[in-house]
Structure 1
Amino acid sequence: MILLLVALGGAVGAPLRYLADRFVQQRHDSVFPWGTTTVNVAGAALLGVLAGIGTALPGNLAAFLGTGFCGALTTYSTFGYETVRLAQERARFLAVANVAFTVVAGIGAAVLGYSTTASFAT
């Protein structure tokens, strides 16, 4: 049952990632990967919220949302590919900025999500 819920979460998260990425990127006239950065930071925030809720969230729902949905919404492989592509195109500053911003913003979003919901779990 949990495997099916993870698969269903992924089936929702993957197309949402694609659509959100395209939506954001089309609004920026830049080679910086704003779409991927947005979905990764949003996914980190949501996963932080889920972690903050902790055991107050039923296991099946946690599997659906955390592993399935957030796992498919966020994308480390695309983040890595786009960073390498920026470096290859001699946009080294943007490549470094992509790594720094994504890591700092992602961790910050996860901490913020966690800290806003952790008190509800007790």
Structure 2
Amino acid sequence: MAPSDPAVVPGAHHPPSPTGPAALGAVAAGGALGAVLRWALSGALPTPAGGLGWSTAVVNLSGAFLLGLLLAGLAGTAARRGGAPAWHHLARLGLGTGVLGGWTTFSTLMVEVDRALDAGRPGVAATALLVSLVGGLALAAAGTAAGRRLVPTS
């Protein structure tokens, strides 16, 4: 694990991150679920030609909040137990990398920005970028704060 990992508690025992079939299965199953959920939402909130992709904004903003919440909650759990429980890393891989990785989409955001620019709508392109990037940072911080309140480290 990288030392900058927010789920690492200094001085606590951390089992190695799982690799192999369990880790691959957690990421694959989570990613499939997240992608299917995003696809369903994009059908419910289609992006008008040259318009702002609200489904893309919803998934990216909610994903930022939920990832902050998840990582802070897992870090709090690890701190309270004096180390990460056995399920901790698989939960992070399955829910964080898998579900939320499949749920969020930077590539679709960039396609929508490109299409808005091609349609002569730079204001829509700028709005999409600002909403996702600035809003995503703010909601990631809010999710982290909420996770810390829900699962304090001590």
TM-score, with length taken from structure 1: 0.91
Q: Which runs of 5+ in 2 are unaligned?
A: 1-21, 79-87
Partner of 1:77: 107
* C-alpha contact 2:64 2:140 (8 A) present in aligned 1: yes
Q: Which runs of 5+ in 1 are unaligned?
A: none
Partner of 1:25: 46
* C-alpha contact 2:67 2:143 (8 A) present in aligned 1: yes
Post-superposition offset of 1:66: 0.2
Kindly, what percent of the aligned residue pairs are identical?
A: 31
Looking at CA atoms only, which structure, 1 or 2, has the larger radius of gyration? 2
* C-alpha contact 1:47 1:70 (8 A) present in aligned 2: yes
Partner of 1:5: 26
* C-alpha contact 1:83 1:99 (8 A) present in aligned 2: yes
Question: Structure 1 stretch 54-63 or stretch 15-24: which is displaced more?
Answer: 54-63
Task: Please give the alpha-carbon distance, in whole angstroms, between the structure 2 residues aligned to 1:50 and 1:19.
Answer: 23
* C-alpha contact 1:21 1:39 (8 A) present in aligned 2: no
Post-superposition offset of 1:81: 0.6
TM-score, with length taken from structure 2: 0.73
Question: Structure 1 stretch 90-99 or stretch 52-61: which is displaced more?
Answer: 52-61
Partner of 1:38: 58
Question: Structure 1 stretch 110-119 or stretch 63-72: which is displaced more?
Answer: 110-119
The alignment yields a C-alpha RMSD, in angstroms, of 1.9
